[in-house]
Structure 1
């Protein structure tokens, strides 16, 4: 299918420059390769958001890879672009703004999946898990109702040959819907926590998530996903108070949205909440946090957390509130 690039757009206007970049992917010009890959990443899929040129570009890249015409030095970058396109299709699903673009984008990603899968045998050893994560995102678009058993078997086999962190492979399997409950007792804390996050509704999973709030975050697990899971599966702040207080007391200011701030908001959902024993514990933990940026009056993001919770954005005042037994 030939695209009418004049009618298509990317983040910076009409996509009339895209065909030249696509042709450059077949050349021996290293600078042109870099420019073309940058164009796909920055213009065609700008910050992960698709435009009308995205699906035709995915189709063109797939054709280059399937025919073996893409220069070998560009293959990894092109597969990354396809994986990002798949992730974009998943992220914008349900958005009215992107609704007109989504059917073609999903169709082209689905067509790219078997091509990318066939190239897995030639993956450099240090890129195996990265390539696997890209395939997972594409498989979720290509076969959303499929059990993905073939890909899961393939990933499990590849994982046994990878000396790197196992959590990355477990995360790939989790994205495919694998049952990971047998890993609740794994000796690797990152693997245990990834399994718990996958099965957060399970009692054992909830317990592992709660305990993880009070421990250093293992590599590979993001602060936000842990805190969101803890809040989502807790009936109230009382059920996770001890661990939440520990987390709040050592998090840094950047957690205003997805870390300490989310837990404070969970503890103080209304500005007029009475200071129960649990909320005093949370407040004491917050006042005990030594990250001065949390208390910087010029930090609007942190200040907003306090304002919404009905708390003073002042460390001493928070301590006094926590001490005020008559309140």
Structure 2
């Protein structure tokens, strides 16, 4: 199908320059191929935001890969681009600004899946995990829910070959959100593997213990504290159930955790903003004492931190919170 690139846009305007870059991925010299890959990243999917040209580009790349016409040194980058495009579909699903472009992009990625799958199956061992991560991202788009079970089987087979860090393979399985049992990894010697297994089986009591215990220390490589905080909130009946672990985070977290670290825990602890004359619970007081002990949270010019406290009905004042915590 002929594409009218002059009617499509990327981040910097009309996509009339895109066809030459697509051609370069097949037959251009090294400099032209590098420029083409750069064009995909900074124009077609700028900072992860799709434009009207993104879905047609996905289809063009799928054709190059399907016919074996993409230059060999571009294949991994093209797979990463497809994975990043898939992340934009799932990550922006609730953003009305992208409501018009996401359905076509999801369709294009569904068309790409059967082309990328054989590349994963036949992957060199040192590229298998990278390809799996991007294929999993594609499979998580809405049109491909019925393909996730088969992919999980293949991912598990690769994981059993020890082709890369086991924690990353377990992470891939967990992201597919299918019924693959990795609870045997809850007792793995590697703490990252144990936690990835726990995040994949949050309903297991052992997982709850692992997740809450992990909040007391810096997470192992490959995991982010925000993942553990989000999981702790999901598995908790109420704030009291995670208060001890939450206070560990509140004492140590950087101010940058205002959104998905200590800030998320403050929002969980104060689902209704505090008001004068209403008593605090003991766990809320304990959390306030932990926040007061953290030197990084009290810069009066830091609007992000101030917003967390304001939304909870609390003063962004160390002295004020200290008084409330008494």
TM-score between both structures, scaled by the size of structure 2? 0.90
Residue 251 (structure 2) aligns with: 249
Question: Using a 3 Å threshold, how does the CA distance of structure 1 residues 280 and 100 change in structure 2: closer, same or farther?
Answer: closer
Give the distance between the partners of 1:67 and 1:60, measured in 2 at CA.
11
Alignment of 1:17 with 2:17, yes or no, is yes
Residue 145 (structure 1) aligns with: 146
Q: Deviations over 1:92-115 (max 9, x none)?
A: 335444333333322221221122
Give the distance between the partners of 2:148 and 2:264, measured in 1 at CA.
34
Residue 101 (structure 2) aligns with: 101
Give the distance between the partners of 1:94 and 1:249, measured in 2 at CA.
33
**Secondary structure in structure 2 of the residue aligned to 1:25:** helix
**Secondary structure in structure 2 of the residue aligned to 1:228:** helix
Give the distance between the partners of 2:135 and 2:256, measured in 1 at CA.
32
Give the distance between the partners of 1:131 and 1:83, measured in 2 at CA.
9
In the TM superposition, residue 118 of structure 1 has moved relative to its aligned partner by 1.9
Alignment of 1:165 with 2:168, yes or no, is no
Question: Using a 3 Å threshold, how does the CA distance of structure 1 residues 257 and 183 change in structure 2: closer, same or farther?
Answer: same
In the TM superposition, residue 240 of structure 1 has moved relative to its aligned partner by 1.2
Retained in 1: the 8 A contact 2:170–2:196?
Answer: yes
Alignment of 1:184 with 2:186, yes or no, is yes
TM-score between both structures, scaled by the size of structure 1? 0.89
Give the distance between the partners of 2:312 and 2:202, measured in 1 at CA.
27
Give unpaired runs (5+ residues) of structure 2. Answer: none
Retained in 1: the 8 A contact 2:129–2:163?
Answer: no
Give unpaired runs (5+ residues) of structure 1. Answer: none
Root-mean-square deviation (Å): 2.1
**Secondary structure in structure 1 of the residue aligned to 2:232:** helix
Residue 120 (structure 1) aligns with: 120
Residue 307 (structure 1) aligns with: 310
Q: Deviations over 1:184-204 (max 9, x none)?
A: 333322222222222223433
Give the distance between the partners of 2:182 and 2:122, measured in 1 at CA.
28
Q: How many residues align?
A: 320
**Secondary structure in structure 1 of the residue aligned to 2:242:** helix
Question: Using a 3 Å threshold, how does the CA distance of structure 1 residues 308 and 99 change in structure 2: closer, same or farther?
Answer: closer
Give the distance between the partners of 1:258 and 1:139, measured in 2 at CA.
26
In the TM superposition, residue 24 of structure 1 has moved relative to its aligned partner by 0.9
Q: Deviations over 1:59-117 (max 9, x none)?
A: 11111112222111111111111111222222333544433333332222122112212
1:277 aligned residue (258, 267, 282): 282
**Secondary structure in structure 2 of the residue aligned to 1:297:** coil
Give the distance between the partners of 1:99 and 1:308, measured in 2 at CA.
29
Residue 70 (structure 1) aligns with: 70
Residue 79 (structure 1) aligns with: 79
In the TM superposition, residue 35 of structure 1 has moved relative to its aligned partner by 1.2
Residue 92 (structure 2) aligns with: 92
Q: Deviations over 1:287-321 (max 9, x none)?
A: 11133xx2111111111122222333233443333
Residue 288 (structure 1) aligns with: 293
Deviates more, 1:69-78 or 1:138-147: 138-147
Residue 230 (structure 1) aligns with: 232
In the TM superposition, residue 250 of structure 1 has moved relative to its aligned partner by 0.9
Residue 261 (structure 1) aligns with: 263
**Secondary structure in structure 2 of the residue aligned to 1:279:** helix
